[in-house]
Each structure stands twice: as structure tokens, then as C-alpha cells.
Structure 1
Amino acid sequence: MSDEESYELLGFDNVLLPVGDLGEALAFYERAGFTLGFRFDEAGIAQLKVGGETPGILLRAELALGHRPPPWHSPHIWLEVPDARAAARELADAGITPLDEVFQEATGWTVEIADPWGNVIGFTDYTKRRELGRRG
């Protein structure tokens, strides 16, 4: 492959998650602390912001998709937060039940939730290895 034909991975654009109902999905994710970037009902999509980055989580309505109870065999998307244990408390206060208890990783703590369609989102921190986190 010549240099003109090669490509370079520059970073994430958006992560797409299928949902059965866009309005219900947005209500769930807003309770989980996400901010709406944009909503385009004609296309059945909405984007959730993730921090100050331009890419986000793109929700796409799949009308035939019904609710799926966790654990569903799907990718897990983990997002960095300052304190996963605090995130778990705030999620519980918003009525969102974690899949399991907050658990330890080599870098810190993590808590995972699933939306009504079985998409798994994790909130992880770098409290054990702060130098690896975004706020180093």
C-alpha cells in the first residue's frame, strides 16, 4: 500500500447504540447525567455529549428492537469520571440501578449500568493511577 493509499486512525467519531424508542432512551440517559448534543427525529437519531469532546454517543432508533434484560451480550462502553463511587450514588439517586456493585480495577473503581435495550455503559475512574487519567 502506498502512502497515498494508507490511512491513519485519528480518534473516535461517535459510538452508535441501538435503542427501541428515542424519547425513552433520552429520558434514561438524561437521568444518568448525559447532556443532549442534538436530536434529529426525522433520522431517528440523537447524540449525547461526553465531556468536552466533539464525539459522543449516538442513539439510533431501531423500531423492531424491544427491551432486553441485562446482561445482554454487547460491547461495554466505559467513560472516565472523577469518582466512580460518587457516580454510582448519583445514578442510584436518579433511580438507575447498577448491574453489580462498584468494583475495583487496576486503575481505580468502576460501576456499570444498562439501558432498557441492554446497552452497557460503565463509569470508571483513575483514583489508583491518577497519572493515567485525563486530569493526571
Structure 2
Amino acid sequence: MNSAIRVLGVDNILFAVANLDDAIEFYADRLGLPLVFRLDEPGIALFKLGPEAPGLLLRRGTVASPAPSTAARLWLEVPDAREAAETLRTRGVEPLSDPFSVATGWIVEVADAAGNIIGFTDYTANPSLGRTAGH
């Protein structure tokens, strides 16, 4: 029985964080993601990720910070990753490295205090594949 699971799309992305207040400050104030809601009792906060329904759900809990080279990643599409890197630096967020090029464009990555990696990627080298091309 080799039947594929029919995936309809991404529901939410969940990251564990040790300190919800610090994480909200990082994601809202430094990365500029819109906070949808915060619930202190269960220790969760949800951020909007662009115009699509899925969001980033932060959950207070135990975190194990792997090395950045092996950590799971969430990449967000932006119009210009190199511009995003400069904006992040002005907000006090130092990228893990300078933006680097890939076949579709550029990527810059940052990490939160729990070691979760967030990448900002663009499709400047292949715009027909990006969201601005209607995909």
C-alpha cells in the first residue's frame, strides 16, 4: 500500500521558544512580523506570514538549540533578500552570514534566541517562479 498523503497546504509552522516575551519582541519588533494574537496562559503567540493563511506559532517550552548548520529552517519569500538583510541590521538583528546566492535569487538567514532559523529569500534570478509572478 503506497498511497500518498494528500497535502492541501501548510497549516501553521510551530517553533518552541524559552521566553515568550523575548520571542515576541524579536519577531514583532525586529523582524517586523504582524502579531495576530498572544495567549499567556498556554504560552503561545501567532504571527502572520504575508497574505497567506498559515502563520508562525511560537510555543513556550523546552528548546534544544542545534547548530545553525543543522537546524530546521523557515524561509519567507521577500522581494529582495539583500535589502531585507540591511533592514534587519538596522533593527539590531545580525544575519548568520552575508546574503548568499542560489539558483532562484538570494537568501539571508537569522536565528532567534532559541536557535530557530528564519530565512528571507527572493526570486530575483528567476522571477517567473516567485509569488509576484502569480504563483
Is this a same-fold pair by TM over 0.5? Answer: yes
C-alpha separation between the residues in 1 aligned to 2:96 and 2:67? 8
Identity %: 51
Letter paired with 1:73: T
Alignment match, 2:10: 12
Moved >6 Å (runs of 4+)? none
1:116 aligns with 2:125: no
* 2:128 is the alignment partner of 1:131: yes
Is the contact made by 1:70 and 1:114 (CA closer than 8 Å) also made in structure 2? no
Mapped partners of 2:69, 2:60: distance in 1 = 18
Q: Which runs of 5+ in 1 are unaligned?
A: none
Residues 1:59 and 2:78 aligned together: no
Cα RMSD for the two superposed structures = 2.0
Match of 1:24 in 2: 22
- Using the TM superposition, give the Cα deviation of residue 40 of structure 1 relative to its aligned residue in structure 2, in angstroms: 1.2
Question: Displacement, 1:85?
Answer: 0.6
The corresponding residue for 1:90 is 87
SS in 1 for 2:82: helix
Q: Which moved more, 1:109-118 or 1:34-43?
A: 34-43
The whole-number CA distance in structure 1 between the counterparts of 2:9 and 2:17 is 24
Q: Residues 70, 29 of structure 1: CA spacing in aligned structure 2 closer, same or farther, 3 A cutoff?
A: farther
The equivalent residue for 1:34 is 33
Is 1:104 aligned with 2:101? yes
Cross-structure match for 2:47: 48
- In structure 2, runs of 5+ residues without a counterpart are none
In 2, are the aligned partners of 1:72 and 1:119 still within 8 Å (CA)? Answer: no
- TM-score (normalised: structure 1): 0.89
| Pair 23,104 (structure 1): closer, same or farther in 2 beyond 3 Å | same
Q: Deviations over 1:47-70 (max 9, x none)?
A: 1100011111100001x448x485
Which amino acid is the alignment partner of residue 114 of structure 1? Answer: A
SS at match of 1:128: coil
What residue identity is the alignment partner of 1:58? L
